[in-house]
Structure 1
Amino acid sequence: MDSVSRSSRSRGIVERGDLSPALPEPLEIVRGVWEGLPPLVIDHDAAANNRIITLNRSSPAHAAFDMMRTKLLRLLKENSWTSVAVTSATPACGKTCIALNLAFSLANQRDCRTALVDLDLRRPQIGKSLAIKNSGSMENFLKGEAGLRDTFFRYGDNLAIAPNRRAVQYPAELLQSAVAAQSLQGMRQEIEPDVVLYDLPPMLSTDDVLAFLPNVDGVILVAASDQSTIGEVDICEQTLREKTNVLGVVLNKSEYSQEHYGYEQRDPG
């Protein structure tokens, strides 16, 4: 071998290597996956009717969710956590409303990539709250029978939402199955979200939440003012603490207003 060939080999240069295209960087692959997701077209009237207020930055009510977002991001970063379940003690506490508002608030963080997944498999609400007409099947996705493009929609550059168009017959069994865990892990590997929010069913109604807890780093528990009892919240919080990390309890449907604290928006004129 002549000196030129030896020199080329020592520098890692392979003959004909310059004829092959360079492999894309991992960031380019992730960006390509995100850009390949169908864009989410939001019915703003439906969103407003369902109190999805973080879509409208002019509303002073979004501040509460921005505070929740900031506290959550700090907690996740401090512990190297990424996956968060949102549940409630009983139905009609507004957990889906909280999950959606938190997701859209997170979307305003340009350096944070978020995924919101509807895993309330008995009564899916995310698609209905946004009036999404062509939602995919979460059952097919969790069973590995449907891909990301069949299931997720992209909102802007850093939020992916997976609604669910129909209820599942055996949700607890599906949520704790190995194939479901593999499907969700595959999603995380392909789009590399910084935060994954899972909208789960109420705790005291089914065993679905307990079945899925091994897949999350922590849980946000939603209680409804004048509806949820202290006993219900205590039971759920104690049960959750035995299995995972309780990231906070959110009181929803409260009559308290920011204006009482002096932070209402005022006309500068």
Structure 2
Amino acid sequence: MDKIRAAISKARADRETLGVPRPRGSKPLPVDAISANWAALPVEQFDANLMRKHRIVSFSRSPESAGIDMMRTRILQQMHDNNWRRLAITSPTAGCGKSTIALNLAVSLSRQPDIRSMLLELDLRRPSLARMLGINPRPVDFTDVLRGKVDFAQNAACYDGNLAVGLNSTKTRNASELLSGAGISDTLSQLDAAYRPDITIFDMPPMLAADDMMAFATQVDCVLIIAATERTSTREIDICEQDLARQTNVMGVVLNECRYMGDEAGYGYYG
């Protein structure tokens, strides 16, 4: 347990200099350099029909997006109160909708112009974000960025000038080895320093499918667990919470795929 605590403390200390994560020994970039880095990212546009097809309801303000927007606000408040910047999203098993939730949350964040956010795809065995966004395969994957082979701008897609998405087109077999590699911390710190996102969301693999999430857990400040109604058991949630709590902060559990909601759950009258 002492070794785990030491690893967590070291990972956080490496990225909490003056409140702006950056590689050890480097100087913070000026604000205009940060803006220039964002402006250099390839620009994409949301396809409304494709968003609806993949249940990404948060691309515009609507009664359907109210639940996601409420979750966004609560997450931002909790992360601000704790000085957290990195959020992992996982699930106990496959099919719980974690990637859909992660993308909905990121798109909801893009509608707040004063917040810069990143969504980085680390479900390396089953990447899906490019398909959901309707983006043609990039010449390089985000895994190439993680390995330090290419610059983030060669892979990223930028929406509305304040949301950057790191994508993969191919599967990665040695995912846990890559995510626990010695250079992963510095690579992520370099991204933080170059783009200074207010929040970075990591779309992670299911917890109980492989050890990828546990291999990466010390790199994030908190984690959100997505459970599916009538699919995820209480025991599976408990196992995930206990294992993750030894590595990082568990923000909470989101129950997805609820078919029956009372009238009190709707906020359409605000529209």
TM-score under structure 2 normalisation? Answer: 0.85
Residue identity in the other structure for 1:186? Q
Segment of structure 1 superposing worse, 171-180 or 93-102? 171-180
> 1:258/1:52 Cα in 2 relative to 1: closer, same or farther (>3 Å)?
farther
CA distance in 1 between counterparts of 2:104 and 2:36 reads 26
Q: 1:156 aligns with which of 154, 160, 165?
A: 160
How big is the shift at 1:242? Answer: 1.5
Q: How far is 1:63 from its partner?
A: 0.8
- Letter of the 2:151 partner, please give it: G
Q: Report how far residue 247 of structure 1 moved.
A: 0.7
Q: How far does the alpha carbon of each residue in 1:83-108 deviate from its partner, in whole angstroms, 9 at most, with x for none?
A: 00000000010000000011111112
Task: Name the counterpart of 1:141.
Answer: 145
Structure 1 pair 262–48 and aligned structure 2 pair: CA distance change class (3 A)? closer
Aligned length: 242
Residue 82 of structure 1, CA deviation: 0.2
Which of 96, 109, 113 matches 2:112? 109
8 Å CA contact 1:83, 1:217 repeated in 2:
yes
Note the 1:1-269 alignment, pairs <5 A. 26-57=30-61, 59-135=62-138, 136-257=140-261, 259-261=263-265, 263-265=267-269
CA deviation map 1:148-198 (0-9, x unaligned): 111211101211111111111200000011222222111111000000000
Counterparts of 1:108 and 1:46, CA distance in 2: 18
Largest Rg, 1 or 2: 1
Distance change (3 Å), C-alpha of 1:188 and 1:261: closer
Q: 1:129 and 1:62 mapped to 2: Cα distance?
A: 17
Q: What amino acid sits opposite 2:94 in the alignment?
A: P
Partner of 1:7: none
Contiguous gaps of at least 5 residues in structure 2: 1-28
Q: Return 5+ residue gaps in structure 1 as ranges.
A: 1-24
- Tell me the distance in 1 between the aligned counterparts of 2:177 and 2:265: 46
- Distance of 1:179 and 1:67 partners within structure 2: 36
The residue identity in structure 2 corresponding to 1:51 is R
For the Cα contact (< 8 Å) 1:69–1:106, is it kept in 2?
yes
| Alignment-mate amino acid for residue 92 of structure 2 | A
Q: For each residue in 1:69-123, what CA deviation from the matched residue of structure 2 results, as whole angstroms up to 9, or x when unmatched?
A: 1111111111111000000000010000000011111112222110000000000
